[in-house]
Amino acid sequence: MPDGESSSATSSAELEPHLSVAEYLLQNLSLSEVKDHDDQAVKKDPKKIARRYQLELCKKALEENIIVYLGTGCGKTHIAVLLMHAMGHLIRKPQKNICIFLAPTVALVHQQGKVIEDSTDFKVGIFCGSSKRLKRHHDWEQEIGQHEVLVMTPQILLHNLSHCFIRMDMISLLIFDECHHAQVKSNHPYAEIMKVFYKNNSKSVPRIFGMTASPVVGKGASSEANLSKSINSLEQILDAKVYTVEDRELQSFVTNATISVYHYSSVANGTDSLYTTYHADLDLIKYQCIASLGRNVEDHQKRMNTKKLLNRIHENVVFCLRNLGIWGGLQASHILLRGDRSERHELVEAEGNSSDDSVCDKYLSQAAELFNSHLKGDGVSDLSSMEIMREPFFSSKLLCLVQILSSFRLAIKMQQNPKCIIFVNRIVTARSLSYILKKLKLLTQWRSDFLVGVHAGLKSMSRKTMNIIVEKFRSGELNLLVATKVGEEGLDIQTCCLVIRFDLPETVASFIQSRGRARMPQSEYAFLVDSDNKKDLDLIDGFEKDECRMNMEIADRTSTETYIIPEERIFRVDSSGASVSSGYSISLLHQYCSKLPHDEYFDPKPSFYYFDEKDGIVCHIIFPSNAPIHLIVSSPQLSMEASKKDACLKAIQELYEIGSLSDCLLPKQETTEPEEKDSSPSNTDGCEEDNSRGELHQMLVPSPFRKSWINEEKIVHLNSYYIKFCPSPEDRVYKKFGLFIMTCLPAEAEKLELDLHLAHGRSVMTSFVPFGVVEFDKDEIKMAERFQEMFLKIILDRSEFVSDLVTLGKGAESHNGSSTFYLMLPVVLQEYENIMTVDWKTVRRCLCSPIFKPPPDAVYQKPYPSDSSLQLANGKRSIRDVENSLVYAKHKKLFYFVTNVNHEKNGLSPSKDSGTSSYADDLLEKFSIHLKHPEQRLLHAKPVFNLHNLLHNRKYEDTEPQELEEFFVDLPPELCELKVVGFSKDMGSSISLLPSVMHRLGNLLVAIELKQMLSRFFPEAAEINSHTILEALTTEKCQERFSLERLEVLGDAFLKFAVARHFFLTCDSLHEGDLTARRSNVVNNSNLYKLALKRNLQVYIRDQAFDPCQFYAFGRPCPIVCNNETEESIHSCLNSVKEQGSSTEIQCNKNHHWVYRKTIADAVEALVGAFIVDSGFKAAIAFLTWLGIQVSFEASQLINVCRGSVGYVPLSADVNILSLEDKLGYHFIHKGLLLQAFVHPSYNKHGGGCYQARLLYC
């Protein structure tokens, strides 16, 4: 069975028993008909356009690992596509294996990804530097689950293999584009991937497929001595064999460009001496600038970096002067002068960034002035002048180029939009040359621009800009590109008829690849060669001979000799499988240091110092001052590079051992889970998108409300409380009511005082007065239950009373669905005797109303005397029964409290609304009703109220409470139906307050219950006030005149401080970045939410404004029954209500409500604040410990920090401590702590670490 194929992979194909997978594929892969062996229908078939040699090479690739060596334009990528198609059964979903296509540059990744998408129906994912950052194992699992072919840069695969996000056994097919980079002696990611992670003796290894236009790369690799060794080593490292196709097979598909050599002379016309003079002048300017460094730049390292940069700038200006002429030198000076620091470094390919820009600016300004003075002196200041077309303004090399381009003007007119690419070796040359060509009037037919790599650091050359330029070139809007080597290697630039090597290629690979851009018939590959330079003349012939020798070596091997592959040392974490080689450890160490805290004055980087000792070269790594370790020393090695690798690998191992790297060998900041997000703008912690939705949680019903009397046999004993109403102003009469409950209320609940806010600034202060235990017999408890059911229906569901008959007490039906058990009944208070009894007279009178089924002892007195009775819509009733009762006016469809009979008015009296017509006339006009008894006296009545939430603030600071006159109407008795006898207005006024009172009482009982539960775990909880806990549990949405926000701010601050102090003292080796990450992991909303759920704190949170319409008490059970069958539909209904932005939710019988995760986290912080306010820091710490957040520390740890600060005392010579202490108003016992606060990470002369940022963190 071939490598990369598992036995399970063949299950999707119907194979004959004697055939292997490879044999089956080979038999079915033909030109005429290729049958898809996978059950899934394939829409795109790359075999239909395949050439014969492509199919043959694909067959060979199915048999073994191969490297395809073909010239540019021969269709290597299509062979890779054919191979993917043939191995599709191994990578198509639901298979878990994947194909990975590697390309060395971002441009190639996008280009090849698009080719694969266009040629196949695979699910293709593209990953490169500009892609979204995938930092976690879960992120890559998702990507692998979604895609079948992953196209990426090798750096990304090396990163994922090293940190075990992707394993080699998951890859069925691994393709290397431009695979010649996999050199034994290089640190290229291609080589690292194969040397470290590919084991050909493993059970499951991927099929390897390489593509190249030149199997050797680098100077000297194609020489006769090294050629066979280079090719053999490439085969060895890729575990593959190089295959190619004979030229005669390619001739019908690929056009070879004609090589032309154009000669110029660098010493003609005596200009060489002139350039030498300019060179000398530039040297003088450079030396003057270097001399000024000693006076102006004190830092030695900065002085050395500036000197190196200045030399590089000088070299580039001189190079442009000699290759382009004075105008080239001038343009190079201007370009370098205009660029910022990073752009200038990239333009001249310099390293380091700590340099004095002013010195470099001075050099470039003087160089530009030197060139300008010569141009102005000769009267040539504009490129449009024809005088410019001579030396020394233009070099002989540039003049030769202009002549070639001019001679192609006729070709431009004759051909269909021909194109030209000019290759140069330097970025600054590309920019300068492009500018000159664009300005020359002689070349107006050429529309030019420059193309350099995105990595070049130019602000003008972003990935988007590069793509735009390439697209313009492809479309014909541009027909001339001045390009660096970015245009050589595989980049899909439209074929052109002319390729010019302004600078000669440095390797045979560059020679072959740049030639491949000239693919059109009769195209030309031109070289500009200095006729006075024999080395340049021989170079072209050398490249052609090397290419011929390479082809012969591939066809007929002369040697099996290879380079020795150096053994890579590897550090592996067994728990995760992550492994880092000594080569990769260098970049990983730089990555770690870059994650250390930094600012505009401090860029943390490791410094490397090399010492030649007796046993070899030793590398010392000096870490930034805020790193947890400060020095790593390598073991002696044979070379500087080997010692650097050894030291970096040691550093990675030590960083892992002290906890600065995760099990995946990544900086801890990289693996920190992102905190969850809420849609609220006040959430500054940052968080996840799924937390913008609410989660369903059950809301706790307080235990005193849950104890039922239903199962009591004869006598029921209920604790009684008088509900005292004190209105302000006293403009209403309130019927006395009492609360009756099985359980005695806690002391804090008995002391509850509640200010209910009415309209117009009016209020009612409500309190509870305990009156001991009251006995109810079976009949009394049944009567009390029905009375409560009756008034709850009247105030909340009064539409039931429109009918002539209302049934109360439908057996168990009335209480089975109830989750609360308490009764609110009218009472008679005998204050002097301190006795409270139920007003049974009122209760019986109401329940004996004709709308209910009469009790057995009810007796109706008939007939009524005419002078003491009234004719109502539902019969004649006595005036006594009608007054202080509830009636229904059918013509107005409203219920009214009748207070009395108005003896001064009847139906013939003038109407209050009109003032002239009578009540009878108004009724006739408005409702077409004829009064049959207009002489009857009218009923004085008040409309029945609608319930309101009286808990939110309806008072304003600048307004005084005002008496509100009640609204009354006069109604003809014959239009009113008597509903409930004795249900008076003052009773209705009291009942309108009860739902708000009981809602607040219930919330307070929940807070008390939480307090009691916490007190069982830590005694400090007993000291906190339950009202403070209730505030911490109540969100702003409840609109109850207090919320958790104030306590949340305090709790959040203390939580961060306590956790920061804990980590500061217990993790003394971690820098502030790691400390911040650890603190964030503890205090973020996600963690607080999870801890709260473990402790079941979410059931105590109150997050909904009280809606009186959803007040469910005994006698009014919740109609929405939530069980296993109905749960999903109810919850989705609740969710839709939430999404529509409704302020309240539909309540189910299980008291579910939607709560944001952040709200739960906020409640935790508010509880911390509550303990601080009422019980102090000790109680807050006890609560955090109970919750699962460790904030404690040992006294010895604090002492160690103070003692450790002694090392900073010598710095007191540079800092006036006494003056500082005077300004701060505090005198430090440990002066070193104060000094630490003033030591910036960039200061490293004291020889220790930097603790300023750690103190700042704390």
Distances (CA, A) of 326 to 297, 322, 389, 435, 436: 32, 8, 12, 14, 11
CA distance 939 to 978: 12
The pLDDT-based confidence of 12 (bands split at 50, 70, 90) is very low
CA distance 1203 to 1209: 11
Three-state helix/strand/coil letters over 511-568: HHHHHCCCCCCCCEEEEEEECCCHHHHHHHHHHHHHHHHHHHHHHCCCCCCCCCCCCC
Coil, helix or strand for 578? coil
What is residue 25's predicted lDDT score, i.e. its pLDDT? 42
**CA atoms within 13 Å, Cβ hemisphere of 140:** 19
For 945-957, the pLDDT digits (tens) are 888 999 987 665 5
Grouping H, G, I as helix, E, B as strand and the rest as coil, residue 809 is coil
> What pLDDT is attached to residue 197?
92
- 8 A C-beta contact, residue 59 and residue 34: no
Across 595-665, where does the E strand assignment appear?
Answer: 607-613, 616-622, 631-633
Poorest-pLDDT segment among 294-298, 681-685, 996-1000:
681-685
Q: Residues 401, 528: contact at Cβ < 8 Å?
A: yes
State mean pLDDT over 568-574: 91
Contact 677, 686 (CB under 8 A): yes
pLDDT band at 915 (very low <50, low <70, confident <90, very high): low
The CA distance from 88 to 13, in Å, is: 11
Q: In terms of pLDDT, which residue wins out, 773 or 539?
A: 773
668: confidence class by pLDDT, cuts 50, 70, 90: confident
Expressed in angstroms, the distance from the first to the final Cα of the chain is 61
Q: At residue 841, does pLDDT exceed 90?
A: yes
Structure confidence at residue 18 (pLDDT): 37
Residue 146 pLDDT greater than 90, yes or no? yes
pLDDT in tens, 510-568: 888 888 887 777 788 999 998 888 888 888 888 888 888 888 888 888 888 888 877 88
Is it the case that residue 820 has pLDDT exceeding 80?
Answer: yes
SS3 letters across 654-709: HHHHCCCECCCCCEHHHHCCCCCCCCCCCCCCCCCHHHHCCEEEECCCCHHHHCCC
Rg, the chain, Cα only: 45
Say how far apart CA 924 and CA 972 lie, in whole Å: 13
State how far the Cα of 197 lies from the Cα of 199, in Å rounded to an integer: 6
Strand order in the sheet with 976-980: 969-971, 937-943, 894-906, 885-889, 976-980
Greatest Cα-to-Cα distance within the chain, rounded to the nearest angstrom:
143
Is the pLDDT at 3 greater than 60? The verdict is no
* Cα(288)–Cα(1101) distance, integer angstroms: 75
Domains in the chain, please, with CATH? 7-250 (3.40.50.300), 262-555 (3.40.50.300), 583-657 (3.30.160.380), 697-701+1017-1059+1090-1187 (1.10.1520), 706-857 (no CATH), 866-983 (2.170.260.10), 1195-1257 (no CATH)
Phi first, then psi: what are they for 650, rounded to 5°? Answer: -60, -40
Q: What pLDDT does residue 23 have? A: 45
DSSP-H helix ranges across 595-639: none
Pairing of strands 66-69, 241-243: parallel
Q: Which amino acid is at 1041?
A: R
What SS3 state is found at 968?
coil
Provide the token pair at 469: 């330029």
3-state secondary structure of 899: strand
Of 219-228, 842-851, 905-914, give the range with the top mean pLDDT: 842-851
Task: Identify the CA nearest to 380 among candidates 401, 368, 394.
Answer: 394
Amino acid at 367: A
Can you read off the two tokens belonging to residue 169?
Answer: 């056994």
DSSP 714: S
Burial label, 584 (beta-carbon count in 10 A; 0-12, 13-18, 19+): buried
Inter-CA distances, 860 with 18, 117, 851, 856, Å? 103, 91, 13, 12
Classified as helix, coil or strand, 640 is helix
Spatial CB neighbours of 1137, under 8 Å, sequence gap ≥ 6: 1145, 1146
Distance from C-alpha of 154 to C-alpha of 786, rounded to nearest angstrom: 79
| DSSP run (H or E) holding 727 | strand 716-728
Residue 16 pLDDT: 38
- The pLDDT > 90 percentage for the chain reads 42
C-alpha distances in Å from residue 386, one per residue of 323, 393, 398, 441, 595: 20, 11, 14, 9, 56
Burial status of residue 39 (CB atoms within 10 A of its CB: 0-12, 13-18, 19 or more) = exposed
Contacts of 580 (CB under 8 A, 6+ apart): 162, 570, 571, 588, 649, 652, 665
State mean pLDDT over 1114-1132.
75
pLDDT for the residue 1181: 93
Using the predicted structure, report yes or no on whether residue 295 has a pLDDT greater than 50: yes
Single-letter amino acid, residue 86: A
* Residues 6+ positions from 859 with CB-CB distance below 8 Å: none
847's tokens: 């329940």
What are the pLDDT digits (tens) for 726-765?
998 888 899 999 999 999 999 999 999 999 999 888 899 9
Instruction: Tell me whether strands 737-741 and 822-830 are parallel, antiparallel or unpaired.
Output: antiparallel
Distances (CA, A) of 492 to 77, 469, 489, 982: 12, 12, 9, 94
Closest by Cα among 13, 42, 61, 26 to 206:
61
- Do 221 and 227 touch, CB atoms closer than 8 A? yes
- What's the rounded Cα separation, in Å, for the pair 131 and 123? 17
pLDDT tens digit sequence for 442-477: 888 898 999 987 655 455 666 778 878 888 888 888
Cis peptide before 17 (omega within 30 of 0): no
Q: Which residues of 913-926 are buried (b: 16+ CB within 10 A; e: fewer)?
A: eeeeebbbbbbeee
Report the candidate in 1197, 1011, 1194, 1162 with the shortest Cα–Cα distance to residue 1089. Answer: 1162
Residue 928 corresponds to which amino acid?
Answer: S
Residue 784 has pLDDT above 90, yes or no: yes
In contact, 119 and 81? CB cutoff 8 Å: yes
Residues recorded for the chain? 1258
Distance CA 1234, CA 168 (A): 53
CA 711 to chain centre: 55
Residue 203 buriedness (CB in 10 A; 0-12 / 13-18 / 19+): exposed
CA 931 to chain centre: 74
3-state secondary structure of 150: strand
Asked if the model's pLDDT at residue 19 lies above 60, the reply is no
Residue 928 has pLDDT above 80, yes or no: yes
> How far apart (Å, rounded) are the C-alpha atoms in residues 908 and 925?
14
Query: Per the structure block, which two tokens stand in for 302?
Result: 């900065």
